[in-house]
Structure 1
Amino acid sequence: MNSLLLFFAAVFWGGNYVVGGVLVKSVNPMLLSELRWLFTALLLLVIYRSAFRQNLSLLWGSRRSVTALAILGQVLFPLTLYIGLQYTSSLNAAVYMSATPCVVLTINRLVFRDRITSSNVVGVLISTLGVIYLLFKGNLLDLERVSASVNRGDLWAIGSALSWALYCSFLRVKDGRISGYAFVTASSIIGALIMLPICALFYLFASDSTLGQDLTSLFSRVDVTAGLIYLVLFPSWLSYLFWNRGIMALGATKGEIFTHVIPLSGGLMSILFLNVEVGMYHLVSALCILGGIYLCSIKKARVEK
């Protein structure tokens, strides 16, 4: 069950890369991030108001760790991603995201002294091979083409991936007594509050756009509004709820392998909705990614028995 939660969370985030990549062509990343978490916070306050009230004392007692996690997961991760998607492809950004298990393994080993098993290593290596194969489109020796295409968007996307790795690694410091509903609600509220002054400062000094123009552009188009609704319901609400539950149950090292589902699902959505051409390298990459996840899962099942 926990593996399924992580799988669907990753699929929804895969859609975030595709939808976000489309939206940043019409909406400023600062405004997009602020509206995403503002509407998510309002939605969750309505749905989980009882759980949020019951956990207020626990949330306040853990305010430092909850705020730090919100900065990593709700502010830095999506904001740097949306900025990066202005200059690089959603596929590139998703591929960088899938490299985070290596970072998580390193953080968990250095900071938390976790034991790294052979199954962890094999699973990550096989699925990472699939990511690399996808990045190079099957041409593993064609290094010049990839190095020439790296731009500031790629750097922002790498920053987003690093933020996510830190979020997953340090999620364990959250007080286990805080319910997932209350935690996601509080994180959304903190994300919206932190993004508010950032967004305000941007429009205060921006010379090429105004808040009124961007809001009009956002809500006057049905497709853009629908994209924002998707970001609120799936990547912001359900993904974080599912991911937090799965990571708390399985651990960051075992759970982070499901990050590799993000470029796979993002690639499939790009094919379905953006008419991206399908190549043999997509299929080979998918097999490697799924194979790596399977090896990690089967090893865990044996240990539990």
Structure 2
Amino acid sequence: MPYLFLTLAACFWGGNYVVGHLLVSEADPVILSQLRWLVTAVLLMTLYFSQVKQQWAFMKKAKGIILFLSLCGQVLFPVTLYIGLQYTTALNAAIYMSATPSIVLLINALIFKEKIQGKNYIGVLLSTLGVIYLIFKGDLNFAKVISHLNKGDLWALGSAISWALYCAFLRLKPREVKGNAFVAISSVTGSLMMLPILIIYLFSHNFQITNVGNYASPLFISGLAYLVIFPSWLSYLLWNKGILTIGATRGEIFSHLIPLSGGFFGVLFLSEKLHSYHFLSGLLIISGIYFCSSARK
């Protein structure tokens, strides 16, 4: 079951890149992030308030790690992602997310002194090669690829680093704080953390919001509903369950499914072209997932 949870979570996040790419063409990324977590917080606190109340004592003891995880997962990750999606493609942004296993592996080895098995290294290597090949689009001219990187790519890389920190430090969350309550309180915390960022942003723009009518359009409302229900709620819930069951090193490899699902959704909904290099990179990524998931703890 943990592998199914991680697969579903990754696919929901893959959709996040496509929906986010559509929405930032009509809405500001900072306002979008605030609305996403505000609505999510209201929804989840309505559903799980009793669980949050029961586990409040454990949450207070773990307030430091909850604040840190909320900062990485609910604030930095979506804000940097949505800013990046203004300048780069949904597929590119999703691909950069697959750099996270290498970062998680490094954090686990250096900070948590985790012993890394040979199969984990092989799995990460294969998947990373698949990601690199996908980034290069089958063209191994390194200088050419680097020259085409823009600020959107850099913001997307920032979102990948934020996500890696979230996944690596998730192990510090007390087991007494269960999944539903944790996602609910993280949503509230993330929404509150976003407020000063939003205020600073609005102040820098003289508190003028452009294209106000776009926030009431059917596209924006339906897109926001997707972001709230799937990437913000179900993905975090399923991902946390999977990571806590099999560990961050083995579980994080499933983030490589994000660019695959994001690429598929991009082809389906954004009419992005599918090329031969997608198949080869997909084979490498899936092979990497196999090696990591078959490695024993």
**In terms of mean alpha carbon deviation, does 47-56 or 104-113 score higher?**
47-56
Letter in 1 for 2:288: G
Q: C-alpha distance in 2, partners of 1:65/1:80?
A: 21
Cα offset, 1:26, TM superposition: 0.8
- Residues 28 and 214, structure 1, Cα contact 8 Å, conserved in 2: no
Runs of 4+ off more than 4 Å: none
> What residue in structure 2 maps to residue 216 of structure 1?
213
Aligned length: 297
Cα offset, 1:215, TM superposition: 4.0
> What residue in structure 2 maps to residue 260 of structure 1?
256
Per-residue Cα deviation, 1:68-90 (whole angstroms, up to 9, x for no partner): 11001100011111111111122
Does the alignment pair 1:291 with 2:287? yes
Cα offset, 1:144, TM superposition: 3.1
> What residue in structure 2 maps to residue 271 of structure 1?
267
Q: C-alpha distance in 1, partners of 2:142/2:260?
A: 22
Cα offset, 1:216, TM superposition: 2.4
> What residue in structure 2 maps to residue 132 of structure 1?
132
Counterparts in 2 of 1:101-250, with a 5 A limit? 101-140=101-140, 142-206=141-205, 210-211=208-209, 213-219=210-216, 221-250=217-246
> What residue in structure 2 maps to residue 57 of structure 1?
57
Cα offset, 1:148, TM superposition: 1.4
- Residues 37 and 192, structure 1, Cα contact 8 Å, conserved in 2: yes
TM-score (normalised: structure 1): 0.94
Cα offset, 1:4, TM superposition: 0.7
> What residue in structure 1 maps to residue 27 of structure 2?
27
How large is the RMSD of aligned CA atoms in angstroms?
1.3
**In terms of mean alpha carbon deviation, does 161-170 or 193-202 score higher?**
193-202
Q: C-alpha distance in 1, partners of 2:286/2:84?
A: 27
Cα offset, 1:277, TM superposition: 1.1
Letter in 1 for 2:225: I
Q: Secondary structure at 2:295's aligned position in 1?
A: helix
Does the alignment pair 1:9 with 2:5? no
Structure 1 unaligned residues grouped into runs of 5+: none
Cα offset, 1:299, TM superposition: 3.0
Cα offset, 1:275, TM superposition: 0.9
**In terms of mean alpha carbon deviation, does 87-96 or 163-172 score higher?**
87-96
Cα offset, 1:298, TM superposition: 2.5
**In terms of mean alpha carbon deviation, does 252-261 or 190-199 score higher?**
190-199
Q: C-alpha distance in 1, partners of 2:13/2:139?
A: 27
Q: C-alpha distance in 2, partners of 1:198/1:299?
A: 42
Q: Secondary structure at 1:48's aligned position in 2?
A: helix
Per-residue Cα deviation, 1:181-210 (whole angstroms, up to 9, x for no partner): 111000000011111121122112215x72
Per-residue Cα deviation, 1:3-34 (whole angstroms, up to 9, x for no partner): 11011111111111111111111110110000
Q: C-alpha distance in 2, partners of 1:96/1:165?
A: 11
TM-score (normalised: structure 2): 0.97
Structure 2 unaligned residues grouped into runs of 5+: none
Cα offset, 1:143, TM superposition: 2.0
Letter in 2 for 1:227: G
Per-residue Cα deviation, 1:30-77 (whole angstroms, up to 9, x for no partner): 100000000000110111122111111111121111011100110001
